[in-house]
Amino acid sequence: MDNLLGYALSAMAGATLAAIFFGVWIRRRRGKGPDPAELRRRVMRGAYKALESDFAGAAEEFGAVAQSDPDSSDVYFVMGRLFRRAGQFARAARVHQNLILRHDDKKGEIKKRALFELAEDYRAAQMLDRAVNTFAELVELAPQWLEPLQNLVELAIKGRFWSVAVTYIPRLEKLAGKVDDELAAHVLAEYALLQIEQGNPEEARKTLKLALKRSPRLAHVAFSFAYLHADAQKPKAVIVAMQEALDDRPDVLPLVLDALHRLATDHDFLERFDEFLADRGDDADGHWSVTLHRALRQRELGNDSKARELIRDLIRQGVDIPPVRQQATELMLALPEEWPQQERPWTCRRCQAAHQQLDWFCSSCSGWGTLDVPHTSKNVS
């Protein structure tokens, strides 16, 4: 009995002591931190600074608030976004990385949000590869969340990560319930070119079959098939495929000629390329590119004076397109004074971005087939 009472008393005493110590500890801890009025003031100051677009200053205020309550992830999210708005991407990323580390073992909602924000930090910092990897990680964690998947596909295309884009486009189509066959075919055509370049023609063939299923008549797909035929040493089929591309999109002639010239050189069918050039009429879209390649061929054959003559003729016509200028410079022709100082590059009709080279793809707005061949003075009027 006594013993039991003694136990009970000592247990109570122990509990009381513990409670007192705990209370003191809590009071001490509270005493050390800023008082609630000060916290409120900092939150208000942070809000005002944000309203005045002083995002870095606002982030500092919220950082002080966050330190007084390390468990509150919301304040950290606010802080991270403010740093991003202030252009301090490394600090924003650090805030979000800390959130990810701290919440790695929990249910994951905070981790997912933080991954999303981290990917946005990388996107804002133009670190597309990291943004793509982070969105991909998030998509595996949250496969039903549409926005990261959309961003992943968008950035994979923008950054020309074709294998990533090819992987995730069908998943996006399924989740969004919306199919874009033409986009998929363009991306597959680019991926096939990459596979050929990497020495996987069999994989490229499979990819192009998928592209054909998506969009059987797309010029871009025919263009990529031409590369596959060249790889298989079938020059006749190369020419046929390129002609098919031109039938669909006559305006990509400069792109087709560049590609054909390179393929004919690498795979030894330059006579066929010369025939192709000879067969071009003089009134085709982008005819300047025919003359340009005739000049390049003349130079390759050692006829520099003939090459100069052809380029001079273009200059006389007022053609001031970047590749023509480049060749004129390489042939050491003096630029005539009437040649406008400002180059007229290819312009995207969707986003107005200027490009020095013709391409299927506008790297500024991710538009496909949106680059217009610059007008030559001959075309202008």
> Least distance from C-beta 33 to Zn ion, angstroms?
52
Shortest reach from residue 301's CB to Zn ion, in Å = 38
Between CA 92 and CA 84 the distance in angstroms is 5
Does residue 348 touch Zn ion according to CB under 5 A?
A: yes
Q: How far is the CB of 381 from Zn ion (least distance, A)?
A: 26
Residue 365 CB, nearest distance to Zn ion (Å)? 3
C-beta of 133 vs 363, nearer to Zn ion: 363
**Which of 350, 354, 355, 379 touches Zn ion (CB under 5 A)?**
350
Contacts with Zn ion by CB under 5 A: the residue count is 8
From 56-64, 190-198, 251-259, 351-359, give the range in contact with Zn ion by CB under 5 A: 351-359
Block residue for tokens 């009071």: 27
> With contact defined as beta carbons under 8 Å apart, do 62 and 38 qualify?
no
CB of 369 to Zn ion, least distance (A): 11
Does residue 136 interact with Zn ion by CB under 5 A? no
Q: Measured from the CB atom, is 343 or 359 closer to Zn ion?
A: 359
The type of residue at 306 is K
Q: Which is nearer to Zn ion, 315 or 348 (CB)?
A: 348
Angle at alpha carbon of residue 372, lines to 368 and 373, rounded to 5°:
130
Q: At its nearest, how many Å lie between Zn ion and the CB of residue 360? A: 12
The window from 29-37, 121-129, 184-192, 343-351 that contacts Zn ion (CB under 5 A) reads: 343-351
> CA separation (Å) from 196 to 216, 217, 227?
20, 21, 8
With beta carbons less than 8 A apart as the criterion, state whether 211 and 218 touch: yes
Alpha-carbon dihedral 58, 59, 65, 66, rounded to 10 degrees: 160
Cα radius of gyration rounded to whole Å, the chain:
32
Q: How far is the CB of 353 from Zn ion (least distance, A)?
A: 5
Stretch that binds Zn ion, among 100-108, 177-185, 265-273, 358-366 (CB under 5 A): 358-366
Strand partners, 348: 371
CA atoms of 64 and 162, how far apart (whole Å): 43
Q: Yes or no: say if 344 and 288 are a contact pair by the CB < 8 Å rule.
A: no
Minimum distance, C-beta of residue 363 to Zn ion, in the bound complex (Å): 8
Q: Supply the DSSP string of 294-354, one letter for each residue.
A: HHHHHHHTT-HHHHHHHHHHHHHTT---HHHHHHHHHTTPPPPTTS-SS---EEETTT--E
CB of 250 to Zn ion, least distance (A): 21
The reply to whether 345 sits near Zn ion by the rule CB under 5 A is: no
Instruction: State the CB neighbour count (10 A cutoff) for residue 344.
Output: 18
Binding mask 361-380 for Zn ion (x = CB under 5 A): -x-xx-x-------------
Say whether 181 sits in a helix, a strand or coil: helix
Interface region with Zn ion, contact rule CB under 5 A, candidates 23-31, 47-55, 322-330, 357-365: 357-365
**Which tokens hold the place of 179?**
């199919």
Pick from 9, 266, 351, 377: which binds Zn ion (CB under 5 A)? 351
DSSP assignment letter at 368 = B
Q: Give the integer Cα–Cα distance in Å for 116 and 138.
A: 7
Stretch that binds Zn ion, among 165-173, 197-205, 221-229, 345-353 (CB under 5 A): 345-353
The stretch near Zn ion (CB under 5 A) out of 10-18, 173-181, 187-195, 341-349 is 341-349
- Nearer Cβ to Zn ion, position 288 or 346? 346
**Which parts of this chain interact with Zn ion (CB under 5 A)?**
348, 350-351, 353, 362, 364-365, 367
